[in-house]
Amino acid sequence: MDVMLLISTPDAARIATGLGRALTAQGLSWGCFLTNDGVKLLSDATFAQVGAGAARLAVCEHSWDLHMAGRDCPVERGSQTVNSLMMGEAARIVSL
């Protein structure tokens, strides 16, 4: 994976959406792990659409249960171990 986005706040929506679009447009392989209340970004239709271009998109299952309780998760749910594995596969990491 060329770039991994680590998103921990929903305030990153504008930046993450633009960056995801740019990475996809450049043909780069990218992934995204959402944690803390950053999982709320999956409620943003534009981000969710851009996220479809990611090679891997996952959320912290604990954060999902805490901030999005009762909602179906549209992406992979995983632990912080998944986050660590994705970081190990990435050439570059962008934390938002």
- Can you give the CATH number for the domain in which 84 is found? 3.40.1260.10
Cross-strand pairs, 32: 5, 57
Comparing CA positions, the residue from 36, 33, 51, 42 lying closest to residue 71 is 42
pTM of the model: 0.95
Q: What is the pLDDT of residue 18?
A: 97
How far the first Cα of the chain sits from its last, in Å, is 18
Q: What is the pLDDT of residue 67?
A: 97
Confidence band for 4, pLDDT divided at 50, 70 and 90: very high
User: Across residues 15-19, what is the average pLDDT?
Assistant: 97
List the domain range (segments joined by +) for residue 69: 3-95
Q: What is the pLDDT of residue 32?
A: 98
Q: How many domains does the chain have?
A: 1
Q: What is the pLDDT of residue 57?
A: 97
User: Across residues 35-54, what is the average pLDDT?
Assistant: 95
Element at 7 (helix H, strand E): strand 3-7
Cross-strand pairs, 77: 59
